[in-house]
Amino acid sequence: MTEPDQDRRSDLHRVRSTSFGRSVTAYAAARPSYPAEAVAWLVPPGARDVVDLGAGTGKLTAGLVALGGLRVTAVEPDECMRAALSAALPDVDARRGTAEDTGLPDASADVVTVGQAWHWFDPEAATREVARVLRPGGTLALVWNVLAEGVSAWADAYFEIVHRGDTLDYSRREDPVAGPQVGPWERTEVVWTRTIRPEELRALAASRSHLIAMSPPDRDVLLAEVDALWRTHPDLVGRTSAELPYVTRCWRARTVTAP
């Protein structure tokens, strides 16, 4: 890749990673939560202090709170996203910070979780920071809700619309990159579906960073296609809701202890 290509990629990455607060209402309303089974897998038995990084509006944070018995701290740089989190989860300690600079004390957490966000971080700086914040032998746990492809024709058509023109490298959600302070990785997946209504499908599309970063006219074209999909796709015509297939990909690794 040439230097200008790399610059364009990192500009795109920066613009999109900081875009979510501009669509906070759509995000909070339409993004799915995480299956309880997946959230439970992220947190090893005996863990007490959990830090949720890039916590957004609190989709994963809420799942952690629901496990019970955990002290959960949320770290989120975007003010609008953090405000939505605090409104939904007033008892959670929500702090301004980034994955690379959390502002949290050394060795203060048993688990650091990251939902739908590790691919937005600088993996080396974030791993260093996570290893600093975790107690020895602590766990870094990553999770992504991903649309399951090849399961339903209408969901594949939706996927094609919302990814049209998207040049972001999504490989970091398939095989996360992290620094040498954690490892080896364990992995599991949870396959599930969610019931979705037409207005939620539109909001789900509108909550994607690809669409948020577009010019309003270009975004409107794609959103109109999402609306048209519901009116015209043979599997959706006349229905008020449908099942959207997901796979939740979970990863966890412990901090590496010196031999």
**Residues that bind ligand SAM in the complex, under the rule CB under 6 A:** 17, 20, 31, 53-56, 59-60, 76-78, 81, 98-100, 115-117, 120-121
Contact status, residue 131 vs residue 100, Cβ threshold 8 Å: no
The residue number whose beta carbon is nearest to ligand SAM equals 56
Cβ pair 205, 31 in contact under 8 A: no
Distance between first and last Cα of the chain: 38
Please, which residue, 17 or 255, has the CB nearer to ligand SAM? 17
Whichever of 82 and 154 has its CB closer to ligand SAM, that residue is 82
The answer to whether the CB of 141 falls within 8 A of the CB of 90 is no
Q: Which is nearer to ligand SAM, 179 or 236 (CB)?
A: 179
Separation between Cα atoms, residue 73 and residue 60, nearest integer Å: 12
Q: Nearer Cβ to ligand SAM, position 80 or 236?
A: 80
| Closer residue to ligand SAM in complex, CB, 115/138 | 115
CA-to-CA distance for 160 and 205, rounded, in angstroms?
Answer: 11
Q: What is the nearest approach in angstroms of ligand SAM to the Cβ of residue 214?
A: 16
Question: Distance (Å, rounded) from C-alpha 68 to C-alpha 11?
Answer: 40
Shortest Cβ 221–ligand SAM spacing (Å):
23
Q: What is the DSSP string of 138-196?
A: EEEEEEEEEEPTTS-HHHHHHHHHHHTT-----HHHHS----TTB---EEEEEEEEEEE
- Shortest CB 52 distance to ligand SAM, Å: 7
Residue 210: CB atoms within 10 Å: 19
Q: Supply the minimum distance, in Å, between the C-beta of residue 138 and ligand SAM.
A: 18
Smallest gap from residue 54 Cβ to ligand SAM (A): 3
